[in-house]
Amino acid sequence: MLTESEIVIIGGSVGGLSAARALTQAGWSVRVLEKASQVSSPTGAGLGLDSISAQVIKDLGLQEPFLSVSASLELEAYRWVDPRPRPSKAVTLVENWEHHHRSMLWSDLHKMLLKSLPQDILHFGHEVIGIDDQCESGGKVKVTAVSGGQRKEFVCSAVVAADGINSFARRQFVCEDKKRYSGMIAWRGVVDASTQPQLLQKLQEDFHHLGNAIIFDIGMDCMNLIYMLPGALINYLWYRSVPEEPDLKGQSVTLQASKDEIAKMITDAEATWTPAFVDLIKATEKPFVNVIYDKDPLSKWVYGRVALVGEAAHCTTPHGSRSTNMSIQDAGALLECFRRHAGDRDAVAALQEFQHIRLPATSREVLFSRHVGELRQGRWVDPQHFSWPDASPEAKALLLNAKRSESDYKQHASEILQKLCEASRPPIPLAIPTN
Ligand SMILES: Cc1cc2nc3c(=O)[nH]c(=O)nc-3n(C[C@H](O)[C@H](O)[C@H](O)COP(=O)(O)OP(=O)(O)OC[C@H]3O[C@@H](n4cnc5c(N)ncnc54)[C@H](O)[C@@H]3O)c2cc1C
């Protein structure tokens, strides 16, 4: 069976659905192919969207549902937590954190986008196994998917590939496509504190501004962050240095924590963090583990009639909370570019303009996130990792001088806190030209 549309989007997660919303708003016909029969979030948790993403969501006509499922985070705080003697901590607040965030559950964001689209354009349970951009029907692309053991073909003018870190499209068009293991894993969890008032009170006494702030605890070779989601949900991530890349089974980089890992989390938390955070870990029913990767920025995303977007285009570590923000901001740029070409129906020109706008900004974001992650972990790193033209010489020098010994940590604590506050700069605007 052959199905025609102007654009085929591969991937029905946040990147794919926000792109679909943008393109339909701009008046283009779209099909979304998603390999999972249902995109649910057994290991999903919370995320923070910045003010630029909030503006894009408004432009996509979704402000009302967005505000109803998200909560405001107006402050950013860094604490230096010294394991011995515990629990001593130095606190630095980022003043004037103008571009404040809104926190929400990933699954609520996904549901909101899903609901905003005509249901007949969504093809779940369709895994893309072929993209033929040289097919005989000139100026068209043929996308082959498998669904329920059957092959299905989709013909379109252009493909937008939002198929994530292990993107099929990216493998087809980019020769060197390696993930970079960051040397870190993150333990993550969400705890519903509405039924545990004592826990909530203890956390609020320790983590001042919890409810209105995202709070980072910097420790020895590790870091955690904590913030609240709507309701009394508490979201945390604990980044740990693990030099050996974990042996992942399958393609997912997120795994349910095993019993042994949970026991280790509790023992290590007791030796590292304040008692309130230890209680939070103990209260987590199902913690999970993320193995942290990114990829070096690409020099192009558009290959003929096929373009990469979202995580497929700019795979990043989560340290700058950029991943979902960048995917949504990609959709903002797609909306503008496809609107501009609504008259001439030139999808390839729209995609080229999209690449022109977004590629330099996201490349900086990926390296910024890498930089902040290393800094928070107190790493000694090769400055080559931040070699995008805009990486500041100061940042490189600081990273080279980052020390690892415990006494150095203490000596450099205030300097690193200061640098983290300075690095906490507003996100890069979309900068869409007005002509
Ligand atoms: C189930 C799930 C839960 C998540 N939970 C969180 C969270 O709690 N917090 C957070 O910050 N981030 C979370 N993320 C990650 C977040 O969505 C992304 O990092 C970011 O938003 C970029 O999104 P993306 O759509 O570009 O990529 P991804 O979210 O990685 O989505 C890629 C999509 O493409 C589909 N796909 C891959 N290959 C094919 C193929 N050949 N054919 C068809 N479809 C294909 C995948 O099934 C997936 O749905 C989650 C992602 C998923 C998939």
Is the beta carbon of 427 within 6 A of some atom in ligand 1?
no
Is the beta carbon of 113 within 6 A of some atom in ligand 1?
no
Q: Which of 91-95, 230-234, 367-371 has the lowest mean pLDDT?
A: 91-95
Structure confidence at residue 178 (pLDDT): 85
Q: What is the pLDDT of residues 191-208, one digit of tens each?
A: 999 989 999 999 999 998
For residue 140, the CA-to-ligand 1 centroid distance in Å is 27
| Sign of the dihedral through C-alpha 369, 371, 376, 380 | positive
Residues ≥6 apart with Cβ < 8 Å to 183: 241, 242, 243, 379
Measured between alpha carbons, how far is residue 256 from residues 35, 42, 425 in Å? Answer: 21, 9, 33
Ligand 1 atom 14, closest CA = 44
Residue 319 pLDDT > 80: yes
CA distance 142 to 272: 54
Q: SS3 sequence, 282-311? A: HCCCCCEEEEEEECCCCCCCEECCEEECHH
Entry pTM: 0.89
Ligand 1 atom 5, closest CA = 44
Mean pLDDT across the stretch 89-95?
A: 62
Is the beta carbon of 189 within 6 A of some atom in ligand 1?
no
SS3 31: strand
pLDDT band for position 400 (cuts 50, 70, 90): very low
**Location of structure tokens 């920025």:** 297
Is the beta carbon of 320 within 6 A of some atom in ligand 1?
no
Is the beta carbon of 39 within 6 A of some atom in ligand 1?
yes
Dihedral over alpha carbons 375, 286, 226, 413 (to 10 degrees)? -40
Is the beta carbon of 323 within 6 A of some atom in ligand 1?
yes
Structure confidence at residue 45 (pLDDT): 87
For residue 322, the CA-to-ligand 1 centroid distance in Å is 14
Q: In order of start, what are the domains of the chain with their CATH numbers? A: 2-63+107-178+295-367 (3.50.50.60), 74-105+181-294 (3.30.9.60), 380-423 (no CATH)
Residue 393 pLDDT > 90: no
Structure confidence at residue 387 (pLDDT): 56
Is the beta carbon of 15 within 6 A of some atom in ligand 1?
yes
Is the beta carbon of 10 within 6 A of some atom in ligand 1?
yes
Which of 397, 301, 291, 420 has its CA nearest to residue 351?
301
CA distance 129 to 143: 8
Q: Which of 56-60, 182-186, 378-382 has the lowest mean pLDDT?
A: 378-382
Tokens of 313: 């285009």
Which residues are 173's β-sheet partners?
none
Q: What percent of the chain has pLDDT over 70?
A: 79
For ligand 1, pick from 127, 163, 319 the residue to mutate: most ligand atoms within 8 Å of CB: 163
Per-chain mean pLDDT for the chain: 84
Q: SS3 sequence, 75-137? A: EEEEEEEECCCCCEEEEEEECCCCCCEEEEEHHHHHHHHHHCCCHHHEEECCEEEEEECCCCC
Is the beta carbon of 317 within 6 A of some atom in ligand 1?
no
Is the beta carbon of 128 within 6 A of some atom in ligand 1?
yes
Is the beta carbon of 235 within 6 A of some atom in ligand 1?
no
Q: Best-predicted range by mean pLDDT among 71-75, 94-98, 118-122? A: 118-122
For residue 164, the CA-to-ligand 1 centroid distance in Å is 6
Is the beta carbon of 329 within 6 A of some atom in ligand 1?
no
Q: Which amino acid is at 26?
A: A
Is the beta carbon of 107 within 6 A of some atom in ligand 1?
no
Is the beta carbon of 54 within 6 A of some atom in ligand 1?
no
Mean pLDDT across the stretch 382-406?
A: 52
Q: Which of 147-161, 328-342, 421-435 has the lowest mean pLDDT?
A: 421-435
Ligand 1 atom, smallest distance to 321 CA: 11
Mean pLDDT across the stretch 263-270?
A: 90
Selected residue with higher pLDDT from 312 and 86: 312
Selected residue with higher pLDDT from 184 and 78: 184
Q: What is the pLDDT of residues 146-177, one digit of tens each?
A: 999 999 999 999 999 999 999 999 999 998 78
For ligand 1, pick from 14, 291, 295 the residue to mutate: most ligand atoms within 8 Å of CB: 14
For residue 14, the CA-to-ligand 1 centroid distance in Å is 6
Ligand 1 atom, smallest distance to 14 CA: 25
Measured between alpha carbons, how far is residue 401 from residues 287, 309, 408, 415 in Å? Answer: 34, 35, 10, 11
For residue 259, the CA-to-ligand 1 centroid distance in Å is 26
Ligand 1 atom 24, closest CA = 15
Residue 426 pLDDT > 50: no
Mean pLDDT across the stretch 52-79?
A: 92
Residues ≥6 apart with Cβ < 8 Å to 214: 48, 73, 75, 76, 77, 101, 103, 225, 226, 227
Mean pLDDT across the stretch 50-64?
A: 94
Is the beta carbon of 310 within 6 A of some atom in ligand 1?
yes
